[in-house]
């Protein structure tokens, strides 16, 4: 099978972690007889430096015309002083909107080999941490009107029923494939947009009688994620709430460097990226953890290319790497064997076997 992948190496540690993910994909292609063609795309700070734009139209076109997109990370202190509409992160928002990827799925799963790295009490971790946050990605306050008038700043939060319904269906369908439990998170005691959210979710629930729907206010959800994460299977929520909660959830698993994500819309062309940032403080030092990016590549194989066996092979290779005690600095524990980014990628690649 031939697949065309747009590759955004980005800024900071982005190029390093993407390189290791591509090396793993190349090994998968070799084992399973696939061909992966890569097209480099400039986005973020590097695109500002090169083109004066965080995502030129010509670069977005490469992404839209690909079979899927693999992204490292964008941004950094170097571009903090550029105008707000030209920040590296604006390129990411434009990419999501241009691709029409409205559903961001972020798993929060603790690998058993890393249970001691979680900041939560052992008794909580032992109950299990394995849930997915389904975040609406191209609506809400991030995509509303933003303006400052004198000493007053205004950010507009808007959702309509159609936007809520399409992400709600992703939540219900994801729950159907797991343990059939869906928690809808909003702030309906304060926000009109959340009251509409709750109304639509309950209307949809009649179409999914096999899924147990519960409601939770976002502030309570933030507390429950650290108090009793085992209660969650699938969480569905709006853009800003999902952004905050998924970052919180990543921390209870031991390291943000381990967490992949997928962003999908109406087509199979998805955007796949680790959830961490560009970490400019360690860029170019071979210290970055590439596992989040490697697992994002596995998600690409599973959800966009329907290559489930190949995705399982990558995940098994990561598990074997952790079993052997190898650790990058972010997950280093007593007795672990410290490795750098390149060696981490090589060891996982060497563990790859055709099932």
Q: Which residues are known to be catalytic? A: 142, 187, 219, 243, 247
Please, which residues have CB within 8 angstroms of residue 152's CB and are 6 or more apart in sequence?
none
- Exposure string for 57-84, b = 16+ CB within 10 A, e = fewer: eebbebbeebbbbbbbbbbbebbeeeee
In the three-class reduction of DSSP (H, G, I as helix; E, B as strand; rest coil), residue 183 is classed as: strand
- Exposure string for 130-149, b = 16+ CB within 10 A, e = fewer: ebbbbbbbbbbbbbeeeeee
> Looking only at Cα atoms, what is the longest distance across the chain?
63
Q: Cα-flanking dihedrals φ and ψ of residue 271, to 5°?
A: -115, 125
Distance CA 210, CA 131 (A): 18
Q: How many Cβ atoms sit within 10 Å of the Cβ of residue 152?
A: 7
Find where tokens 């031991």 sit: 254
The continuous run of DSSP H or E covering 185 comes out as strand 181-186
Q: How many Cβ atoms sit within 10 Å of the Cβ of residue 302?
A: 18
Tokens of 132: 């997915």
Instruction: Quote the Cα angle for 108-289-300, to 5°.
Output: 55
């Amino acid at each position: 099978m031939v697949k065309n992948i747009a590759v955004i190496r980005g800024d900071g540690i982005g190029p390093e972690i993407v390189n290791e993910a591509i090396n793993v994909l190349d090994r998968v292609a070799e084992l399973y007889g696939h061909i992966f063609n890569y097209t480099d795309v400039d986005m973020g700070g590097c695109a500002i430096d090169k083109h004066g734009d965080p995502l030129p139209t010509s670069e977005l076109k490469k992404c839209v015309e690909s079979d899927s997109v693999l992204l490292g990370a964008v941004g950094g202190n170097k571009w903090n002083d550029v105008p707000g509409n030209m920040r590296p992160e604006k390129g990411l928002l434009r990419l999501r909107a241009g691709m029409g990827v409205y559903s961001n799925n972020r798993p929060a799963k603790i690998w058993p080999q890393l249970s001691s790295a979680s900041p939560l009490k052992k008794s909580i971790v032992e109950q299990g941490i394995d849930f997915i946050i389904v975040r609406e990605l191209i609506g809400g306050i991030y995509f509303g009107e933003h303006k400052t008038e004198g000493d007053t700043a205004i950010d507009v939060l808007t959702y309509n029923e159609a936007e809520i319904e399409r992400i709600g269906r992703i939540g219900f369908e994801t729950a159907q494939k797991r343990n059939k439990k869906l928690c809808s998170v909003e702030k309906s005691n304060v926000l009109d947009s959340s009251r509409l959210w709750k109304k639509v979710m309950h209307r949809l629930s009649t179409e999914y009688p096999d899924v147990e729907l519960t409601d939770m206010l976002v502030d309570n959800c933030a507390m429950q994620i650290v108090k009793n994460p085992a209660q969650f299977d699938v969480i569905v929520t709006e853009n800003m709430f999902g952004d905050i909660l998924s970052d919180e959830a990543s921390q209870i698993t031991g390291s943000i460097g381990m967490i992949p994500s997928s962003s999908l819309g109406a087509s199979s062309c998805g955007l796949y990226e680790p959830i961490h940032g560009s970490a400019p403080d360690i860029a170019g030092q071979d210290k970055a953890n590439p596992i989040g990016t490697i697992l994002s590549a596995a998600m690409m194989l599973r959800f966009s290319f329907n290559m489930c066996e190949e995705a399982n092979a990558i995940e098994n290779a990561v598990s074997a790497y952790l079993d052997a005690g190898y650790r990058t600095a972010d997950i280093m524990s007593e007795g672990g064997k410290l490795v750098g980014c390149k060696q981490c990628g090589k060891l996982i690649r060497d563990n790859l076997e055709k099932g």
